[in-house]
Amino acid sequence: MRLIAFLLVLSFFYAPTAAARPDFEAAGKSVRELLGALVAADTTNPPGNEARIAKIGAERLQAAGIPARRTEFAPGRENLVARLKGSGKQDPLLLIAHIDIVGARADAWSTPPHQMTEKDGYLYGRGVADDLGMAAVELVVLELLKANKVPLRRDVILAWTGDEESGGAGIQWLLENEPESIRAAGALNEGGGLRLNSKGVPARIDLQTAEKTYEDFTLTTVGPTGHSSTPLPDNAIYRLARALTRIEAYSFPPRLLPVTRAWLAAKAPLENKTRSTAMRSLVESKGELPQDSLEILLEDPLLAANLRTTCVATLLEAGSRVNALPGKATANVNCRILPDSSTEAVQAQLVALIDDPKVQIEATGNFGSGAPSPVAGEIPEAIVRRAKAFWPEMQLVPFMSRGATDSRFLRAAGIPAYGISPILISDEDGSRLHGIDERIPAKSLQPAVEFLYALVVDLAGDPNP
């Protein structure tokens, strides 16, 4: 993709304060240097080793005169929390990013995954987009606020958390042990962000305001064992197969949450006439969802997954030998649950659906969940205001994530959280997260600092100190 020159030609616009305009060119270079160090630290989870990155961040913050605290939630695994004090007129603003990364097979990449490399206008490296890039931008923004003596009406907190990729042990430790260290009126996190269109032009704000609840269920059946030459009734594999077939044939009823209604309203103008009409019909519906419009939209698996809870078999295990009857069979069924429902309700539905008391159904793990954050309000309005100041054609697209971030724990703790990475990437770049050759545009770092700085000053700056 040809990178657009005007990514670096931006108007700076934010709520007035007594502070001078920072040197954003230098700040962009600072982010790049820091991001390179974070990528090289290799905090692949497992095992994590987030202490490596927490140490780098703590040293930077100490040099800037910003108090920071490292907390260990497991051997070699740490969070980092820093706070820039404001006047206290309003409750704090939280900037959060996770510092663990998913694994990467070096032989599959075109560049070394744990060495940030510039190639063809992009920065390649595991974590540059998920989520080390955001972590670096947030820290540099905190440094800029401090260096430019920006008057603040609220504290600005920076939290780098560990273990987001494997369940969120880092954020859970903070909420259980030091909740006041990150207590805030709202949080800016990963999960959404600023997006380029196919021509490389900033086009939309994907604002994540809700997440589906992640839950795995283990289905277990048992049966008589013996030699396979003498088949017996009540075969464990056949009983399990019947249960899975019933799950396959069932679809949870579609429901339109407020965030999904807003998402469809934003997407409708971008679709063809048939889909656009169907989307508008759902958006404008007051009671029962129109069946004809649903049928059109549910043909698309992506749209369908946003309109209903989903459950799908992902793992199977049965038997011990090819010539022996299986004494036990198990399957994992992965469910992504709409945030207005619950694990218990879905488990009850699976029990009723399978209708076989000899199939044991057990929820495995506690992955956490939280109610959606408001689609309207101070933070979403500031995000739109700042983005449009830089890129007037930007359109807001609120959405519910089908995956999971640390935001679910913040929302459960009463902290509205919004997924809004400041780094401009394309959908194609976004598809590389957790995949091969993760990358971001090399020229996206300075605009990211400018945008996030303006947004934080808007949300936390004090025009009348």
**Domains of the chain, each with CATH number or no CATH:** 5-210+387-460 (3.40.630.10), 213-364 (3.30.70.360)
Would you say residue 11 has pLDDT above 90?
no
**H-type alpha helices, 47-131:** 51-64
Smallest Cα–Cα separation from 390: which of 194, 150, 139?
194
Before 46, cis peptide (omega within 30)? yes
**pLDDT digits over 419-442, tens only?**
999 999 999 999 999 999 999 999
Task: Return the CA Rg of the chain.
Answer: 24
Would you say residue 241 has pLDDT above 80?
yes
β-pair partners for 78: 72
What is the C-alpha to C-alpha distance for residues 263 and 279, in angstroms, rounded to an integer?
10
Encode burial over 156-194: b for 16+ CB neighbours within 10 A, e otherwise: bbbbbbbbbbebbbbbbbbbeeeeebbbbbbbbbbbbbb
**pLDDT digits over 139-153, tens only?**
999 999 999 999 999
Residue 184, pLDDT score: 98
**pLDDT digits over 108-161, tens only?**
999 999 999 999 999 999 999 999 999 999 999 999 999 999 999 999 999 999
Q: Who has greater pLDDT, 371 or 35?
A: 35
β-pair partners for 123: 118, 440
β-pair partners for 77: 74
